[in-house]
């Protein structure tokens, strides 16, 4: 299976590329800069140059699945958050629809449907995430929207907790990446949105419970 990772140079994106390669997928790492290509190759990815704010059709063409793992970052000005987290995601979704890949996995965030319930400093970011998620839900794609709590760089345990809504908490980026990859072929996650935190249930078993 050929899988495109948008935001491959980010913390979670790098873990996605590594874990996809280790699991036997063809990981295509979408990056914006020529100098990032070598690092993606070291991680086991096949680099693809494309910008979420521009034409991404060539990046999506021929893929079996697309993973959106890009993020504007907490220190990004509002206009860039809108450009990446909402408009960039929608741009990639439209290209995915146009060029035939059926599976789209979105890295979102807890409380994206209710941004006023999240941390005040993240309200606009969550609003943009929620609008991108809403656009994805209205497509014919086999989407999965994964909404983790606060991301940590702790080693993963491969044990999580999932539900439509959860209380606040944290989860490792490693386990988020593994969960998103498991969603590629776990049909019980298709056309579903769920929140996730660290927990006591193996990833595969947790996804079957949704």
**Residues known to be catalytic:** 125
β-bridge partners, 120: none
Task: Give the other-Cβ count within 10 Å of 167's Cβ.
Answer: 10
Taking a C-beta distance cutoff of 8 angstroms, is the pair 144, 105 a contact?
A: yes
β-bridge partners, 143: 104
Task: Give the other-Cβ count within 10 Å of 35's Cβ.
Answer: 8
Task: Give the other-Cβ count within 10 Å of 31's Cβ.
Answer: 24
Phi-psi region for residue 33, left (φ > 0), alpha (ψ -120 to 50) or beta? beta
Q: What's the token pair of residue 111?
A: 């409380």
């Amino acid at each position: 299976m050929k899988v495109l990772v948008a935001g491959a140079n980010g913390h979670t994106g790098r873990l996605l590329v590594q874990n996809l390669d280790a699991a036997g997928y063809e990981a295509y790492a979408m990056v914006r800069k020529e100098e990032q290509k070598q690092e993606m190759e070291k991680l086991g990815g096949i680099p693809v140059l494309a910008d979420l704010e521009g034409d991404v059709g060539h990046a999506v063409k021929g893929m079996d699945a697309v993973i959106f793992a890009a993020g504007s970052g907490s220190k990004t000005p509002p206009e860039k958050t809108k450009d990446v987290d909402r408009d960039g995601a929608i741009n990639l979704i439209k290209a995915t629809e146009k060029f035939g890949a059926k599976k789209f996995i979105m890295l979102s965030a807890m409380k994206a449907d209710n941004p006023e319930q999240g941390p005040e400093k993240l309200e606009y970011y969550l609003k943009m995430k929620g609008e991108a998620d809403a656009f994805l839900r209205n497509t014919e794609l086999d989407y999965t929207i994964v909404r983790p709590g606060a991301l940590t760089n702790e080693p993963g345990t491969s044990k999580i907790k999932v539900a439509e809504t959860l209380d606040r908490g944290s989860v490792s980026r490693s386990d988020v990446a593994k969960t998103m990859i498991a969603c590629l072929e776990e049909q019980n996650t298709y056309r579903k949105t769920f929140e996730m935190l660290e927990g006591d249930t193996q990833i595969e078993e947790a996804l079957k419970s949704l």
